[in-house]
Amino acid sequence: MKVLIVSGIWPPDVGGPASHAPDVAEFLRGRGHEVEVVTTADAPPPGRPYPVRAVPRFHRIGVRHYRGAALIHHRASDADVVYTTGMFGRSALGATLARTPYVVKLTADPAFERSRRRGLVEGDVDEFQRRRGGAGVALLRFARDVELRHAAHVFTPSSYLRELALFWGVAPDRVSVLPNPAPVLPPGLPPRDELRRTLALNGATLAFAGRLTAQKSLERALEAVAGADGVHLVVAGEGPDRAQLEERARELGIADRVRFLGAQPRERIVELFRASDAAILSSSWENFPHTVVEALATGTPVLAMEAGGVAEVVRDGVNGLLVPAGDTAALGEAVRRYFGDEALRERLRGAATGSVAQYSPERVLGELEETLRRVART
């Protein structure tokens, strides 16, 4: 089977799709399939044992979209199936013109994300479903619905997002939940104490990894840390909000307790989670974050706001602590409670790894492979 994988971001970019797409490519290659990738990039991506073709991001938006759709069309003509984790409009157009079935990995509401980028809406994804919006929003919703309804299959990482896809009109038999797989930890991963020394983690430490954007609402995590004496926060990731987050840390008087590492390779993210006392997630809206599964897989509990599908993997009092979405005071209280109760920390840590055992790559990516085989052009 020849599979064309489309992803809007690719290493060294940081983000869920930049982790997921290479994992899928390696898994499918290991199963004997031919793999090719189309993405966008600031510079030519590092070499892989399969072709990775990138549309340069320096092109104007219209030109970049045209070139992306044209490249997908060209490469899809020689593929049996297209698996897209982003660039949905370009993927749908290119695959349809090539008469090649395409499968979508949905990570959010595309219409909401596009509307936010254009400054057409505010609020979170749930509010977006209830509000009509103007003509521009209506057009973006129409485009989303066309892209998804014409897909051979749609995967969502959470039941929460599947319910939204059904609300948008995707047929129930063509949308299913496929959670993000847990990472395979390298056999030589050092012990936690050694990693803490290597990463210079001193005292109680929380970790965050991801894009520094409005969605992640990391300022709430900063405020939670400000209310917890002696607790440090290490932030791995890059994004448009970094400068204002660094300024906010200074305003809160915790700049000496917050360390911004910038973009990090996935291997270092896994080490950071393993070394930390807990991961923190303060997002305004979420689906099923890769970093939550990565943290739990390393044995590290998660302190999170109950946004989107987060509660489908983080269970309050079992492998982490959950607070209502948007409640910064409750998040601060959860941080203080966690570090003030050693028995609680040990209990949550002891349950973390086992809580994501069902998300093994063999099971999750094996189900993906079965669907790709089923819908592939013959």
pLDDT tens for the 378 residues of the chain, in order: 999 999 999 998 877 788 899 999 999 999 999 999 999 999 999 889 999 999 999 999 899 999 999 999 999 999 999 999 999 999 999 999 999 999 999 988 999 989 988 889 888 888 899 888 899 999 999 999 999 999 999 999 999 999 999 999 999 999 999 998 888 887 888 999 999 999 999 899 999 998 898 888 999 999 999 999 999 999 999 989 999 999 999 999 999 999 999 989 888 999 999 999 999 999 988 878 888 999 999 999 999 999 888 999 999 999 999 999 989 999 999 999 999 999 999 999 999 999 999 899 999 999 999 999 999 976
Q: Which of 317, 233, 239 is nearest to 281 (CA)?
A: 233
SS3 of the chain: CEEEEECCCCCCCCCHHHHHHHHHHHHHHHCCCEEEEEEEECCCCCCCCCCEEEEECCCCHHHHHHHHHHHHHHHHCCCCEEEECCCHHHHHHHHHHCCCCEEEECCCCHHHHHHHHCCCCCCCHHHHHHCCCCHHHHHHHHHHHHHHHCCCEEEECCHHHHHHHHHCCCCHHHEEECCCCCCCCCCCCCCHHHHHHHCCCCCCEEEEECCCCHHHCHHHHHHHHHCCCCCEEEEECCCCCHHHHHHHHHHCCCHHHEEEEECCCHHHHHHHHHHCCEEEECCCCCCCCHHHHHHHHCCCCEEEEECCCHHHCCCECCCEEEEECCCHHHHHHHHHHHHHCHHHHHHHHHHHHHHHHHHCHHHHHHHHHHHHHHHCCC
Are 73 and 97 in contact, with CB atoms under 8 Å apart? Answer: yes
User: What local confidence, expressed as pLDDT, does residue 27 receive?
Assistant: 96
183: nearest Cα among 291, 106, 313: 291
Question: What's residue 285's pLDDT?
Answer: 81
Rounded Cα gap, residues 88 and 75, in angstroms: 15
What is the Cα–Cα distance from 315 to 114, expressed in whole angstroms? Answer: 31
CA–CA gap between residue 338 and residue 150 (Å, rounded): 46
Q: pTM for this structure? A: 0.83
**69 and 93 in contact (C-beta within 8 Å)?**
yes
Whole-number pLDDT of residue 378: 67
pLDDT at 61: 86
**Cis peptide bond upstream of 157, omega within 30:** no
CATH class of 192-358: alpha beta
Q: Where in the chain is the domain with CATH 3.40.50.2000?
A: 2-181+360-375, 192-358
The set of residues, in sequence order, having a beta carbon less than 8 Å from that of 135 and lying 6+ positions away, is none
| Architecture of the domain defined by 2-181+360-375 | 3-Layer(aba) Sandwich (3.40)
Confidence (pLDDT) at 183: 83
